[in-house]
Structure 1
Amino acid sequence: MDIKEIKENARERMKGFCNMCRECDGVWCAGKVPGMGGTGTGESFKRAHNKLKDIKVIMRTIHNVKDPILKTTLWGKELSFPAVVAPITGTVFNMGGYVNDNEYSDDVVLGALDANTIAMIGDTGDPKCFEHGINAIKKANGNGIAIIKPRENDEIIKRIKIAEEAGAIAVGIDSDGAGLVTMKLFGQPVGPKSVEDLKILVQSTKLPFIVKGILSVDEALLCAEAGVDTIIVSNHGGRVLNETLAPCEVLEDIVKAIGDKINVLVDGSVREGVDILKYLALGAKAVLIGRPIIWGSIGGRQEGVKVVLETFKNQLYQSMILTGSNDVNNVSPKTIIK
């Protein structure tokens, strides 16, 4: 399959849920939560897209960079390029139901493995979704990461233990799910976490612990204080709170504050390989890819996910050559103009 065929398939199969717009900017799908859009007027989704677009790369072609290094290492695993599949669930009420959560989990975890990278599985009000993700991680011999909603600590720890038994390489929470509409629909209690809560969770496992959903320096510092291994700078795809800052607006300051202490990853409107390069230039160690992976699963199943990831990888490779960037682990801030 090729990326064009995958997108055409996804467009037909996601009617009413995703318009597969020429530019995935959050305009058509504004307010569609559940669904594929941003909450409220969709400003958080739209801002994440627009602010990343405002960052431009500087083309350089007089240099010796002919075969840039794309590989990086996270959580003891070598990745073919610095991109991880974001944790997503709710195929019926978010994506239209062409694939179910069991099929989607297999597609993303095994498709990521095919592309020599890692997928995160998600959690939602339906306990079967987390179960499907765990089963996919087992099929991938543990090559996956479990991200759990910010439930009560004992409920989170219960799920951490399940992920450990499945052989997962890391676990964590998406703290920005504290007020998620879809959780409320299922009557599942979620909420914010204190530093003490985080310390308990970090100490409950020997696995690297991740907190996804950080948008400020002060909360990044609190995560470092709690012993968190990795944070993900994210506004949850603009799906939980309207009028937030874009991840790319706060990433650089967060990296300066704690980037020498813990891993800093980021997500938000990654739509092609050059977007990865922009985030690397801002200091991120890797990015998460969300909506395009959904298109890959629905448009081409496991193979579609692999094709999407390899397309991003190839685009990143080309972008690095044309900006004189030799190594994804050391991209110069001078690669971009804000």
Structure 2
Amino acid sequence: MQPSLASIRERARVLLDGICRVCPVCDGWRCPSGVPGMGGIGTGAAFRNNIAALAAWQVNMRVLHDHKDQDLSLRLFGKRLAFPILGAAVAGARVNFQGRVSEEELARAFVLGAVEAGSLAFTGDGPLPELMDAGLKAIKAVGGRGIPVIKPWEDMEIMALIRRAEDAGAVAVGIDVDAAGLVNMTRAGQLVEPKTVEQIAKIAGATSLPLILKGVMTVADAEAAVEGGATAIVVSNHGGRALDHTPGTAAVLPEIAAAVGDKIIVLADGGVRSGVDVLKMLALGARAVLVGRPLAVAAIGGGAVGVRLQLEALADDLAVAMRLTGCGDLNDVSKGLLRPIHN
């Protein structure tokens, strides 16, 4: 008998006792811990800003139309996906989840669950080699349908890890450039650094894999990514875990998409909790979105099955939201669906 999302969340609540309360609304207000853990950095403002930035937009309902069936599919990085919702890179099981799930179990749940749902998941990196090892193993096990994200190490180390990603058959490779000052990394004495356009260009030119830069929050950085030859960016503040008091991603996404959207693939994450949130991100300029904390809860409570069920639930919710806003497919989604809330 297939478990329900409710039972999966209840099991996760027990397993994550003292780490995450698995709140009915995951908005950062009650997190008992920040970094490491599931919360945000410092005051947690950046995490909460992600939620607030999405809440600042309302959705215009439109129900007199002929779009009776919704097509959520898209092509991304050479793969056909069932819907524009991907698993974000969540790693560091020993540190963030106090070893209550192994790194291999976490990576496998994200990657396999996403593949079974018809999508893709990103995998993570960090101060312990087991993070990258587990991600690449999970990706290789599903024929390469996954995207490893590498920390901004020194260039030679990045290239060595990209070669491993190529060997695993990954569909793309990422660098989470906003990890240049992550607390977990600095506490571990690991050397990570900001990257110049020239460094990005050298890395992009040395691999046939699409290069994704994750952690772009300004037009200037987005334009630098284009200049450096990246294939895609992820508009992201690292789930509010990199720098305190950054704006929510939905607040900066429209200006970034307007500046570079035709030159590079724009993805986004941060605070997505429902299909309506997905619709908002798409309307604001994202090609697809990444989801982190909800999938982490699903993975810990239900493994790959939990991740699949959570992704499918988000996709079902998105389909309803599209039907009730007059959208037949993703090409119909535009900023005209949204109405800003003016305080």
Output the TM-score relative to the length of structure 1. 0.98
Residue 283 of structure 2 aligns to which amino acid in structure 1? Answer: A
Aligned 1:21-170 pairs, distance under 5 A: 21-29=23-31, 32-170=34-172
| 1:97 shift after superposition | 2.7
| 1:329 shift after superposition | 3.4
| Aligned residue in 1 for 2:14 | 12
RMSD: 1.0
Residue 229 of structure 1 aligns to which amino acid in structure 2? Answer: T
Tell me, in whole angstroms, the C-alpha distance in 2 between the residues paired with 1:232 and 1:30. 28
Tell me, in whole angstroms, the C-alpha distance in 2 between the residues paired with 1:227 and 1:208. 10
Kept after mapping to 2: 8 A contact 1:83/1:288? yes
Residue 178 of structure 1 aligns to which amino acid in structure 2? Answer: A
Q: Higher mean Cα deviation, 5-14 or 90-99? A: 90-99
State the aligned residue count: 338
Tell me, in whole angstroms, the C-alpha distance in 2 between the residues paired with 1:219 and 1:331. 26
| 1:155 shift after superposition | 0.5
Structure 2 vs 1, CA of residues 191 and 30 (structure 1 numbering), >3 Å: closer, same or farther? Answer: farther
SS across alignment from 1:132: helix
Q: Deviations over 1:252-274 (max 9, x none)?
A: 11111111011000000111111
Tell me, in whole angstroms, the C-alpha distance in 2 between the residues paired with 1:54 and 1:20. 24
1:181 aligned to which of 180, 183, 191:
183
1:270 aligned to which of 255, 269, 272:
272
1:334 matched to 2:300? no
| 1:323 shift after superposition | 1.0
| Aligned residue in 2 for 1:232 | 234
Structure 2 vs 1, CA of residues 229 and 330 (structure 1 numbering), >3 Å: closer, same or farther? Answer: farther
Kept after mapping to 2: 8 A contact 1:325/1:332? no
| Aligned residue in 1 for 2:212 | 210
Q: Deviations over 1:122-156 (max 9, x none)?
A: 10100011001100011000111111000101000
Kept after mapping to 2: 8 A contact 1:84/1:286? yes
| Aligned residue in 1 for 2:198 | 196
| 1:166 shift after superposition | 0.5
Tell me, in whole angstroms, the C-alpha distance in 2 between the residues paired with 1:264 and 1:252. 10
Q: Deviations over 1:234-279 (max 9, x none)?
A: 0000001001111111111111111101100000011111110000
SS across alignment from 2:94: helix
Tell me, in whole angstroms, the C-alpha distance in 2 between the residues paired with 1:266 and 1:94. 23
SS across alignment from 2:267: strand
Aligned residues with identical type, % of pairs = 45
Residue 197 of structure 1 aligns to which amino acid in structure 2? Answer: Q
Kept after mapping to 1: 8 A contact 2:145/2:170? yes
| 1:207 shift after superposition | 0.6
Tell me, in whole angstroms, the C-alpha distance in 2 between the residues paired with 1:242 and 1:271. 21
Q: Higher mean Cα deviation, 247-256 or 183-192? A: 183-192
Tell me, in whole angstroms, the C-alpha distance in 2 between the residues paired with 1:30 and 1:205. 41
Tell me, in whole angstroms, the C-alpha distance in 2 between the residues paired with 1:306 and 1:50. 27
SS across alignment from 1:329: helix
| 1:172 shift after superposition | 1.6
Tell me, in whole angstroms, the C-alpha distance in 2 between the residues paired with 1:13 and 1:66. 42
Kept after mapping to 2: 8 A contact 1:31/1:39? no
1:289 aligned to which of 288, 291, 305:
291
Residue 322 of structure 1 aligns to which amino acid in structure 2? Answer: L
SS across alignment from 1:173: strand
1:309 aligned to which of 289, 308, 311:
311
Unmatched tracts of structure 2, length 5 or more: none
Residue 36 of structure 1 aligns to which amino acid in structure 2? Answer: M
Output the TM-score relative to the length of structure 2. 0.97
Kept after mapping to 1: 8 A contact 2:77/2:210? yes
Tell me, in whole angstroms, the C-alpha distance in 2 between the residues paired with 1:164 and 1:110. 19
